[in-house]
Chains A and B, each alone.
Chain A
Amino acid sequence: MLEIRDLHVAYGEIPALKGISLSVATGEIVALLGNNGAGKTTTLKTLSGLLAPRSGEILLEGESVRGMPPHLIVRKGLAHVPEGRRVFNRLTVRENLEMGAYTRSDAAVSADLDRVLSLFPRLGERRAQVAGTLSGGEQQMLAIGRALMGSPRLLLLDEPSMGLAPVLVEQIFETVGSINRQGTTILLVGQNAALALDIAQRAYVLETGAVVLSGSAADLARNQDVRRAYLGEM
Chain B
Amino acid sequence: MEEGGRLIPACMWSSLLDERPSFSTGDVMPVRMSRRNFIAACAGGGCALPLAAQAIGAVGDIKRGGIFYPDKEARYYEKLPDKRIECTLCPNRCKVGDRERGGCGVRINREGKYYTLVWGNSCVGRDGGNPAPIEKKPLFHFLPTTRSYSIATAGCNVTCKFCQNWDISQVWAEQTFNHDLPPKAVVANAKRHRCRSIAYTYSEPVIFYEYMYDTAVAGRAAGIKSVMISNGYIEKEPMVELCKVLDGVKIDLKAFTEEFYEKLVGGKLGPVLDTLVTLREQEMWFEIVYLVVPTHNDDPDDIKRMSKWIMKELGPHVPLHFTVFHPTYRLKNLPRTPVSTVARCRKIAMGEGLKYVYVGNVAAWPDGDPGESTSCHKCGKKLIHRVGFLVRSNKVRGGKCAYCGTKIPGVWE
- Whether A and B are associated in the same complex: the answer reads no
Q: Which residues of A contact B (CB under 8 A)?
A: none
B residues with a Cβ closer than 8 A to A are none
